[in-house]
Amino acid sequence: MTDPTLDYFINLGQIQEDDASHIQWSHATNSKHKVVAALNGPCHMIEADILMRGNEPKEPIMAHPPMRDSDITLQEWLEKVKKQNNKGIKLDFKSLEAVVPSLALLEKVSGDWGAPMWLNADILPGPQGTTTPLEAQAFLDAVGSGASPVVLSLGWTTGWSAETDNPGYSWAMVRQMEEVCRGLRHPVTFPVRAALLHNSSPFGYFVLKQPSRLHHLCIVLMPRDWLI
């Protein structure tokens, strides 16, 4: 199964060239204001972070750690986005606890969704990563049990420091991801940190040797990476 994301926007006439770099993104769309702005703006894909609310009522909300609360829940967020059904979504899970209840909400809206749906999680430790990755098999078991056609976005935790020679993605990290991805039935994209790619020669070989459904890198430029 190949990733249909680019073809979807080409078929809508929103992108004219067979080039995924033309896909525009709204990142960290974790509030009511930001999701309205994204829906009314030129972006094709809306990315947001999900975790469980830190207090009652316990439910999936749109927030990035260290935040533990938000002015919008995942259910409210999905309802808003679904009304404008030509925007794709990328949901970035920041806690394993949020995965199963979030997937239940996604199943309720996925029947007539139509637009691309990506599910992202950092499931392996990467270069200078300090946060704990989500447990890989638990995440994949959860998302693999759903009936919705989704693209899996599987990444590594990373870190970066100014004025140092930051290590890139090693062969050991790449091989570990290759092992994790064997047997997956969903198309997969790998979010990698742009500032670390120049020290990451294993990546080109890794991507080229994968089946066509695994031929995607999503290169992420973090705000502080502009300092390099």
Q: Is the dihedral of CA 227, 166, 96, 188 positive or negative?
A: positive
228 located within any domain? no
Q: Is the pLDDT of residue 6 over 80?
A: yes
- Assign 3-state DSSP to the chain and report helix, strand, coil percentages, each to 5: 40, 20, 40
pLDDT at residue 89 in the model:
96
Residue 14 lies in a domain: yes
Tell me if 37 is assigned to some domain.
Answer: yes
Name the domain count of the chain.
1
Other beta carbons within 10 angstroms of residue 28's beta carbon come to 14
CB 121 within 8 A of CB 154: yes
Q: Which residues contact 27 (CB under 8 A, 6 or more apart)?
A: 47
**Which tens digit of pLDDT belongs to each residue from 121-170?**
999 999 999 999 999 999 999 998 765 679 999 999 999 888 788 898 99
Does the bond joining 57 to the residue before it have cis omega, within 30 degrees of 0?
Answer: yes
Percent of the chain scored above 70 by pLDDT? 86
162, two tokens: 């100014």
The confidence band for 81, taking pLDDT boundaries of 50, 70 and 90, is very high
Q: What does the pLDDT look like over 181-209, one tens digit per residue?
A: 888 888 888 888 888 877 877 666 666 56
145: domain CATH number is 3.20.20
Residue 227 lies in a domain: no
- Residue 226 within a domain: no
For residue 228, what pLDDT is reported? 35
CA dihedral 106, 107, 111, 114 (to 10 degrees): 30
Domain holding 29, by residue range, is 5-221
SS3 for 199?
Answer: helix
Any domain includes 135: yes
pLDDT of the residue at 227: 38
Half-sphere exposure of 151 (CA within 13 A, CB side): 27
H-run or E-run covering 109: helix 99-109
Q: Is residue 204 part of a domain?
A: yes
What's the predicted TM-score (pTM) here? 0.89
- Report d(CA 219, CA 210) in Å as an integer: 18
| Average pLDDT value for residue range 114-121 | 94
Mean pLDDT across the chain = 87
25 within some domain: yes
